[in-house]
Amino acid sequence: MQDSPANVVQPDWLDEIRWTDEGLVPAIAQDADNGDILMMAWMNRESLQLTVEEGQAVYWSRSRGKLWRKGESSGHQQLLRDIRLDCDADVILLKVEQKGGIACHTGRRSCFYRTLKNGQWVSAEPVLKDPNAIYGSK
């Protein structure tokens, strides 16, 4: 019997993750080139395995109760460059190539666009593209 090739995903690596009681793990998407934090989302076992198998970010949408392939409606996919697990095995870090330069549904590069100034949250990053132009008006 031959050894498995290095690129074949074995599902037992998923057992090493400390999932929440809801079967989720937080995932942080980071720009692989410059280290910018782009967003945080949730993953379940299926979305994490699909992310590794497909080479692009697949999350679990808690609000929609279904898998969500990043960029499926916006075209702003996240191509997986590296994946890391933190020391407590309860947070995933995805190092990604952000297609289109926009990760946030508000049309900004990052979901972390607000900064605290004098006791108020203020926008620190510009809208790069109107969300209505990305998703259509709702």
d(CA 80, CA 71): 13
The pLDDT score that the predictor gives to residue 9 is 53
At residue 135, the pLDDT reads: 83
pLDDT averages per 10-residue partition of the chain, 138 residues: 50 92 98 98 98 98 94 93 98 97 95 97 95 79
In this structure, which CATH number among 3.50.50.60, 3.40.50.2300, 3.10.20.810, 3.40.220.10 belongs to the domain 11-135?
A: 3.10.20.810
In angstroms, how far is CA 63 from the centroid of its own chain?
15
Is the CB of residue 65 less than 8 Å from the CB of residue 81? Answer: no
Output the pLDDT for position 14.
96
Distance of CA 131 to the CA centre of its chain: 19
* Predicted model pTM: 0.86
- Confidence (pLDDT) at 51: 98
Tokens 């990760």 belong to 103
- Sketch the domain layout of the chain as residue ranges: 11-135
In residues, how long is the chain?
Answer: 138
Distance in angstroms (rounded) separating the CA atoms of residues 69 and 47: 9
Which of 57, 137, 132 has its CA nearest to residue 93? 57
Q: What is the pLDDT of residue 6?
A: 54
